[in-house]
Amino acid sequence: MAEQKKLLRALAGETQDVPPIWMMRQAGRYLPEYRATRAQAGDFLSLCYNPELAAEVTLQPIRRYGFDAAILFADILLIPQALGADLWFVTGEGPRLSTITSEADFAKLGPVSDIHETLNPIYETVRILSRELPSETTLIGFAGAPWTVATYMIAGRGTPDQGPAHALREENTALFEALLARITEATIEYLSMQIDAGAEVVKIFDSWAGSLKGEAFEKYALEPCRQITAALKERYPHIPVIGFPREAGDKYVGFAKATGIDCVALDNSVDPEWAAANVQVDGCVQGNLASRHMVTGGQDLIDETRRIVAAFKNGPHIFNLGHGITPDADPDNVQLMIDTVRNG
Ligand code: CP3
């Protein structure tokens, strides 16, 4: 049967007059209805683990804007927690985790087979969404890429330069690689369960891929993405995979072919005309409007949106931001972006 959903058509390689559109962090603090539901849940993690409320915040941007895709509401740091790391969020600052800097820290992590005990509520959220989403809306599941997840597990928090993770990688390569292997294995099982529950596409977020240079990029960004994709394709040949090696620069070229993913998500440091010529030649691309336009709006937002749509119009494209929408964004600017994409 021919595929009807716009997002799945783009992922299958179809060029469309109007690209499908969704937005990273589309369920988030810029929306008053999100803030209300989050307050009802108590805090961010309680919201992630409450299937009814997590499904509710996933649906909010679909109701408000009619995006072509919904992304499961959860977080990339639930995997470390499911493996036994402590995880909490400090309001206004971000995540905190127990750190992994020694073999003894690593030995405290649990086996991959135990992760579902913690993550079962997430699969329930996916099941609710696959029942409740409009028939034209595609449901995207996701996980963090092993390198990005490891940067938080090693440092115990977000870091500007991923320094502690780079230090461990150089000083204790065996431990670093064992950690990456554990996360890779857990991610395959986690994404498989999301697909079993009804996710139609999965996305792998490698937010810090750009800090891996040269051979380290191939080993720790490209190779884990290839392994996860290969394992998923073996189990679920028809489920498309989106990869997001953020700030990969020249390494975006050939990334889809080398990893087997169906679509590369582009950050906003990439010029769209360059990406059309060098990345979209291999298949679908997603991106790459700068998130700041959701704060500043106006003619700049319209011009830049039109430029991106025009640059990618001769191949498969999913319109999106280059990174997540920020809490200070104006919901009206999101509508302006959507109107510009859909009406020209
Ligand atoms: O996109 C979506 O709407 C789906 C849900 C989603 C969240 N986080 C919800 C969230 C997704 C796909 C993520 C991915 C994620 N989480 C990434 C990769 C993408 C990226 O942004 O680079 C990373 C690095 C994380 C880890 C994380 N989660 C950080 C560093 C923070 C704190 C920074 C911040 O924005 O507050 C979070 C918290 C988080 N994850 C929020 C949301 C909506 C804000 C929490 C709140 O409501 O207070």
Q: At what angle do helices 32-41 and 51-65 cross, to 10 degrees?
A: 170
| Cβ of residue 24 lying under 6 Å from some atom of ligand 1 | yes
pLDDT at 344: 86
pLDDT tens column, 265-291: 999 999 999 999 999 999 999 999 999
Q: Spell out the domains of the chain, with CATH numbers in brackets.
A: 2-343 (3.20.20.210)
**Percent of the chain's residues with pLDDT above 70:** 99
Indicate whether 337 pLDDT > 90.
Answer: yes
The DSSP H or E segment spanning 201 is strand 201-206
| Cβ of residue 25 lying under 6 Å from some atom of ligand 1 | yes
Residue range 150-178: average pLDDT? 98
Name the region of 109 (left: φ>0; alpha: ψ -120 to 50; beta: rest).
Answer: beta
Indicate whether 2 pLDDT > 70.
Answer: no
Residue range 117-141: average pLDDT? 98
Pick the atom of ligand 1 nearest to 208's CA. Answer: 22
List b or e across 199-212, with b for residues whose CB sees 16 or more CB atoms inside 10 angstroms: bbbbbbbbbbbbbb
| Cβ of residue 324 lying under 6 Å from some atom of ligand 1 | yes
Which of 271, 287, 272 is CA-nearest to residue 322? 287
152 is catalytic: yes
| Cβ of residue 27 lying under 6 Å from some atom of ligand 1 | yes
pLDDT tens column, 171-228: 999 999 999 999 999 999 999 999 999 999 999 999 999 999 999 999 999 999 999 9
Residue range 73-78: average pLDDT? 98
pLDDT tens column, 288-320: 999 999 999 999 999 999 999 999 999 999 999
Pick the atom of ligand 1 nearest to 148's CA. Answer: 24
CA pair distance 231, 242, nearest whole angstrom: 14
Q: Of 9, 49, 65, 75, which is the active-site residue?
A: 75
Total-model pTM: 0.97
30 is catalytic: no
38 is catalytic: yes
Sign of the alpha-carbon dihedral angle for 150, 156, 157, 162: negative
Q: Band of the pLDDT at 1, cuts 50, 70, 90?
A: very low
CA pair distance 77, 289, nearest whole angstrom: 25
Point out which residues pair with 245 in neighbouring strands: 206
CA pair distance 284, 20, nearest whole angstrom: 12
Average per-residue pLDDT in the chain? 97
Q: Which two tokens stand for residue 37?
A: 């539901």
**Mutational pocket test of ligand 1: of 22, 24, 25, 152, the residue with most ligand atoms within 8 Å of the beta carbon:** 25
